[in-house]
Structure 1
Amino acid sequence: MDRQLSTVSMSALTFLSWELCTTFDNEVNYIWSKSYKSSVKWLFLLTRYIGLGSLVTNISMSISGGRPPLSCWGFLTLQISVMQTIITLVELTLVVRVVALYNQNHRLRAILLFLVIGGTIFSMIGFATSVHKTEFDAMCVITHVAPAAVYGFTFIVTEFILLVLTLAKCVHYLYITARRAPLIELMIRDGTMTFLATILVVVPTAILLTATHGAFIAMIEPWFIAVYSCA
């Protein structure tokens, strides 16, 4: 199992590293140049490099063949916290995009922030109610997860709402102007691809949690982090 986990983690790290390298020039031009007061700048950088650091740590531990320095439950809590942090940062970034589309509507911003924060709290509650029932092997690889952990994936509802708001505003703009708008088309493409990419990792994870009681959940976690870091 350790060998398979190392292989999956390495493939996810390779994908994330490739994506980082191919977009690094844009990152320098459009993100690094922003003021240190820019929320977008820090949301972007934290999402990208927390995920990268997490994958490097996972691989280092797999290669060393040792148990994590924390207890199995402590290490799981750290992993889930990293995943949830990345998810929340991605959603906050999407909120910034959507609110910009709606001319910085303060009421919409408040509602969306409530959804993101509420979803984060609900996800952590789902994890907290199942973590003490999680079972591990000798190397702290999860072998059984309580069904309550599935509740942690309700954040996908928030992301669906953000996608619908993005598409509605973009399509409306294209309809009333009756002309091409490259930036709007780009937001439609990226918003849709982000949602589909997250669905691609969330659905298999939820299925494994329910069908196999989480026996192979560790095999998906690296790609979960890689996809969200790219999102």
Structure 2
Amino acid sequence: MQGGNSSGSSPDIDKALATQVDYRSSVAALVFLLYDICITIDDEVNFIWPKPWTRTKFLYLLIRYLPLFVQTSILTIGSPDLTPSFHFTPHDCFIWQVYQGVATVLVFAAVDCVLILRVFALYNNNRTMRRLVVVAFALEFGGMCVGLGLSLPGIQFDDICLTTSISSELLIYAGSTLLFQTFLFALTVFKFVQAVREGWGDTPLLSLVMRDGTWAFFLLFAVVAGDAALYGLKNHQFASVLYGWLLSVFSFAGYHVLLNLDRLNDAPRLATSESSTNDSPYQFTTRIVTDREQAAAYELRAFNARPSGSGHGG
């Protein structure tokens, strides 16, 4: 079935079609990301730039601009006009695949860190939960690295670096991400259900965390599963069609989660003077509360952690 000749088309026609589809998909993913960055740049200037350099600010900039850089650079591969003029060797194509694989691991890991910090905050930095999530993240990261390392030697290319054959070990890469995303989403849902039963599930920030966690999970799961399904097909000429979207969607989800928290933090809050705000500007309430300890217990301390001696929360 490789080559998609069931309709009688020639391999050259299939190759040209795959090249066009792959390239146009990459361009569309890049345009989508550029457009979203342009319409959210005001929020970045207002919320991100004034902050001191913390891990949150670093993660935000990495998630927002590394995929943009990678996607811009890879447009030279797969372009019907540009690629043939470069005369890539198989070794060049291999190095290019390593570059894309490492960049994807970095983006995935950065987005996972944002989602992990949210889970830590939801569980009030519970030591057992922190250890459990860290172990799960280490297993995911190890699975991605192992899957990438085992699959790279088996990837084959044509004269323009279009993938023609892959190793099934690459599915370990995707499977590790899918399992970890499902694990984090399950923890978020569990805490939300618990909060609803205890009567504080309607607090604005918890509602935001649940809402963003839900759409981000299904969006990320869909694009990773779709990309894995394409790599599982025998016709590998279309395997990389979703690669650009993989980067764009993870970038989109990661920085929107952080910007949405900043937008909520910027809204007027009546309980500021009644609850602890020393460690983080994010709280799970915008209403006057009578239990100061409960309000403080559910702060999002993990976000916008201030440098020692800082007099404000960003």
**What TM-score comes out, normalization by structure 2 length?**
0.68
Question: Residues 31-89 of structure 1: CA distance to partner in whole angstroms, max 9, x if unpaired?
Answer: 223221x2111111101110010111122443632446971111101101111111111
CA deviations on 1:165-215 (whole Å, 9 max, x unpaired) are 112212322332267322211111110111111121111212122222633
Residue 151 of structure 1 and its aligned partner are, at CA, apart by 0.9
Does residue 203 of structure 2 align to residue 203 of structure 1? no
Task: Please say which structure displays the higher CA radius of gyration.
Answer: 2
User: Is 1:41 aligned to residue 57 of structure 2?
Assistant: yes
Note the aligned Cα RMSD (angstroms): 1.9
The worse-fitting range, judged by mean Cα deviation, of 82-91 and 111-120 is 111-120
Partner amino acid for 1:11? A
Residue 98 (structure 2) aligns with? 77
Deviates more, 1:6-15 or 1:109-118: 109-118
Look up the match of 2:243. Answer: 221
- Name the structure 1 match of 2:29: 12
Counterpart in the other structure of 1:58: 74
Percent sequence identity over aligned pairs: 27
State the number of aligned residues: 230
Instruction: Give the TM-score, by structure 1 length.
Output: 0.91
Deviation at residue 133 of structure 1 after TM alignment: 1.2
Q: CA deviation at 1:118?
A: 2.1
Aligned to 1:192: 214
1:104 deviates by 1.9
For structure 1, the 5+ residue unaligned runs are: none
Q: Tell me, yes or no, if the aligned pair for 1:147 and 1:213 is still in contact at 8 Å.
A: no
Q: Which has the larger helix fraction?
A: 1
Q: State whether residues 163 and 192 of structure 1, in contact with CA within 8 Å, keep that contact through their aligned partners in structure 2.
A: yes
Give, in whole Å, the separation in 2 of the partners of 1:28 and 1:166.
30
* Structure 1 moving runs of 4+ over 3 Å: 66-70
* Contact 1:145 1:215 survives alignment (8 Å): no
1:128 and 2:146 are equivalent in the alignment: no
Any idea what SS the aligned residue of 1:44 has?
helix
Query: Alpha carbons of 1:80 and 1:178: their partners in 2 closer, same or farther (altered >3 Å)?
Result: closer
